[in-house]
Structure 1
């Protein structure tokens, strides 16, 4: 008697994909992400916001397992709230990135997530931190997710220090659009968050509002 087995896709490793980006500009940061959540060849959510607030002026961009990344963001959000009450002021962006790094490293065997942390604080202004397992580095820009492999050359060639806020916002939208055009695991709408000393601005760019780079 043959042993019954489930569908073949149940035994396959589930591959996830996304595109996330964060860039420093003169006075703040801009974060961006696509909205598609995939599981292998299937799209399980077309409009997930992958830019999660950690504090008033600190956000993180999520990639990897959606459940793992969201759990890390929720834990850090709680810890930062407690930390800000203890010190009597808003937390530093580096503190948020360090908390993310510590959790990612401690549970590196159990969790599958890569978070980019970015925000603004009074001490160091706009900052972008890449966190991966035990690694924590401040960078002028960071790109992650499966779509990043298609746009690293574009970002390296086009980014310049001292970029203005409006230029940075368009730069993020252009990068996400190029990634979504090439990466089958990225798509949907573009979420953009801009953070500076004046506050946080959230924006959604719909699919029909994204720029076009070639004749379709």
Structure 2
């Protein structure tokens, strides 16, 4: 912050009462700092890295979200170990699909948005409130999406009122839809969703849900070149996050590796599908 005619005091904009939304504050006083505030020149195009695939499913008492680690740029692999699943606050997760750089920037802004609300209001935002706030941020990115820089995340969290996990999906216009039991987004979502339909069990434990999520990503990678399967040689495993009444946490590589090894071992002589 520069010291100017105000004698080093905060600008007036910081002292005027307003809403608890940090994004609305930026929109009014520094719109160029928003992800959507830096549009492309007319007719310009960018070949930026894209991230896929994200899956999420509920279990009795919480929700699991997992994502592969590959980012692609056209027919090239831009990154092999990209993290696509993030904790947005103590009780929620978001997984990104679409233009990677823009998506990560939007997630960081969403994290600040929720933290800002908590500090101003002195309470956590409701899960539906978080989902709707993310929808408004995606809607603000519509101009960039029309130029090919789309972000389509998957949001999930634990709802203390219901005592269970809930999942929300989006479209590029900011439409927000609650999904039941499981959902997937990204280029490999068609194949992952087919696997989830066959493997998912409502009565399953958290371990069952983790196995189901990793296996769905395995199936997606089998048919979608943009989705990265478990990289045994480099020991790169999917990112797996869990949210329940104790909060959000991520599984360590040492916890995911046995799940991956079991899936691969079970498919040695029965990989599934034609060669």
What is the TM-score with the length of structure 2 in the denominator?
A: 0.69
Cα distance in 2, alignment partners of residues 59 and 73 from structure 1:
10
Deviations 1:9-65 (A, max 9, x none): xx8966835110111111110000000011011111110110012111211000000
2:48 and 2:99 in contact (8 A); partners too: no
The correspondence for 1:94, drawn from 128, 133, 136, is: 128
Structure index of larger Rg: 2
Provide the C-alpha distance between the structure 2 equivalents of 1:210 and 1:48, rounded to a whole number of angstroms: 23
User: What is the aligned-residue RMSD (CA, Å)?
Assistant: 2.2
Aligned equivalents of 2:246, 2:49: Cα separation in 1: 39
2:169 aligns with 130
1:166 aligns with 2:188: no
Change (3 A) 1:14 1:66: closer
1:20 is matched with 54
Q: Where does 1:1-216 land on structure 2 (aligned, <5 Å)?
A: 16-111=50-145, 112-124=150-162, 125-132=164-171, 133-140=173-180, 141-187=182-228, 188=231, 189-203=237-251, 204=253, 205-206=256-257, 209=261, 211-212=263-264, 213-215=267-269
Provide the rounded CA distance (Å) in 1 between the counterparts of 2:77 and 2:48.
12
Structure 1: which 5+ runs fail to align?
Answer: 1-10
Runs ≥4 in structure 1, deviation > 6 angstroms? none
How far apart, CA to CA, are the structure 1 residues paired with 2:159 and 2:260?
A: 35
Counterparts of 2:82 and 2:51, CA distance in 1: 13
SS at match of 2:209: helix
Q: Which has the higher strand share?
A: 1
More deviation, 67-76/156-165: 156-165
